[in-house]
């Protein structure tokens, strides 16, 4: 992960003041490149889901699975959901988007980053524009700022979308509308029995 991308994610969290009780990274990794590996997340229940099996470390629970189906998690379970450099590799990315919106609590923060394309008069040539190189065997999509606003964050509030670097990576964030002023706290305070149910599913997955 480019350091400026990681810095941007952290800056968004710092600026919004979100201190999650439960946080999820979709397409996450372990170690220093994990978006969950940050002091502001310490003390939170942290989960990372990836198709590649990884060991749980540093207080982060690793789950082997697809973002297309995160049925191991209850509706509104997380008050922070993040995903970076993942949706372009996801053949059915709209399913992962639906799941990210589902597991996010009302009032919760969603942050997404992907390679993309933007208008750049200094670098565009005629009708062509630069985008990030093909960088993995499964690399299906590039997204625009419009896609972020009208697809990724459709129906969300306080949406901000910003391209960084060249070729561009686009990073956007927004909040799931609340049902009420105390919605985040109410949704984040998932009863202990629901958390135990998730942990049982995870243990069964790794047997």
Reading phi first (left if > 0) and then psi (alpha if -120 to 50, else beta), residue 177 is in beta
Q: Tell whether omega for the bond before 27 is within 30 degrees of 0, i.e. cis.
A: no
Helix (H, G, I), strand (E, B) or coil at 84: strand
Distance CA 165, CA 153 (A): 22
Question: Would the pTM count as exceeding 0.95?
Answer: no
Written in H, E and C, the secondary structure of 102-121 is: HHEEEEEEEEEEEEEECCCC
Distance CA 147, CA 113 (A): 12
The per-residue pLDDT for 7 is 93
The per-residue pLDDT for 125 is 72
The per-residue pLDDT for 110 is 98
CB atoms within 10 A of CB 92: 13
Query: Residue 187: pLDDT band by 50, 70, 90 thresholds?
Result: very low
The per-residue pLDDT for 174 is 98
- Average model confidence (pLDDT) across the chain: 88
| Residue 178 buriedness (CB in 10 A; 0-12 / 13-18 / 19+) | middle
The CA distances from residue 44 to 47, 76, 79, 176, in Å, are 10, 15, 10, 19
The per-residue pLDDT for 189 is 46
Taking only the tens place, the pLDDT of each residue in 34-93 is 999 888 888 899 999 999 999 999 999 999 999 999 999 999 999 999 999 999 999 999
Tell whether the model's pLDDT for residue 184 goes beyond 90.
no
The per-residue pLDDT for 183 is 45
Judge contact between 24 and 73, C-beta under 8 A.
Answer: yes
What is the set of domains in the chain, with CATH numbers?
3-205 (3.40.50.150)
Taking only the tens place, the pLDDT of each residue in 126-174 is 778 888 889 888 999 999 999 999 999 999 999 999 999 999 999 999 9
The per-residue pLDDT for 185 is 46
Taking only the tens place, the pLDDT of each residue in 95-115 is 999 999 999 999 999 999 999
* Encoded tokens for 138: 């499964």
Judge contact between 66 and 97, C-beta under 8 A.
Answer: no
């Amino acid at each position: 992960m480019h350091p400026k991308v990681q810095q941007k994610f952290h800056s968004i969290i710092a600026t919004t003041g979100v201190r999650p009780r439960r946080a999820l990274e979709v397409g996450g990794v372990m170690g220093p490149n994990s978006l969950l590996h940050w002091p502001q997340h310490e003390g939170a229940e942290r989960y990372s889901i990836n198709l590649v099996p990884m060991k749980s470390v540093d207080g982060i629970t690793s789950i082997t699975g697809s973002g297309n189906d995160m049925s191991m998690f209850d509706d509104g379970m997380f008050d922070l959901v993040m995903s970076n450099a993942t949706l372009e590799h996801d053949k059915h990315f709209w399913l992962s988007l639906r799941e990210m919106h589902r597991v996010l609590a009302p009032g919760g923060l969603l942050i997404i980053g992907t390679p993309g394309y933007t208008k750049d008069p200094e670098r565009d040539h005629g009708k062509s524009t630069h985008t990030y190189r093909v960088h993995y065997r499964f690399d299906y999509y590039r997204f625009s700022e419009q896609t972020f606003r009208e697809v990724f964050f459709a129906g969300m509030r306080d949406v901000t979308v910003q391209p960084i670097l060249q070729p561009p990576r686009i990073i956007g964030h927004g909040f799931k509308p609340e049902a009420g002023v105390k919605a985040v706290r109410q949704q984040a305070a998932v009863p202990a029995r629901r958390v135990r149910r998730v942990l049982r599913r995870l243990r069964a997955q790794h047997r």
